[in-house]
Amino acid sequence: MATDTPTITADTARHVLWGYGSEGGAEPGTFTKHVMAAISSADVANRAILSRAYPGLYMAIQIARSDPDGIAKLQRIAAGQTGPLSCHCGDFAGPFDLQGRCETCVEAAA
């Protein structure tokens, strides 16, 4: 997964923000609502299937759930600001430089 980061579109970010009742959200269609509910309630095996079928939506929900700054990140994507979302080391917290490196990796490279 680290080698193939899915793209989260502005629409997907808005839909997930809506799902979390956050500012910048937009209500998706009925099908997307069902997929979001399915991802949120899936067990491990079904989550793997859904992550392959809906990689952007899956990633956006993961960010919203597990990243303390996730909602803010989705709001940036929804606003059309598509900066790096994570570092190659697996850090999701940021901030990141323009090469997508976290502060720890920037310091390690200096």
Binding site for Zn ion (CB under 5 A): 87, 89, 91, 102, 105
Which of residues 25 and 94 has its CB atom nearest to Zn ion in the complex? Answer: 94
Q: Give the count of alpha carbons within 13 A of 69, CB side only.
A: 11
> In terms of CB distance, is 16 or 102 closer to Zn ion?
102
CA distance 51 to 29: 19
Q: How far is the CB of 40 from Zn ion (least distance, A)?
A: 28
Of 38 and 106, which CB lies nearer to Zn ion in the complex structure? Answer: 106
Distance of CA 32 to the CA centre of its chain: 16
**Least spacing, CB of residue 61 vs Zn ion, in Å:** 23
Give least dist CB 109 to Zn ion, A: 10
The alpha carbon of 27 is separated from its chain's Cα centroid by a whole number of angstroms, namely 17
Count the neighbouring beta carbons within 10 Å of the beta carbon of residue 48. 12
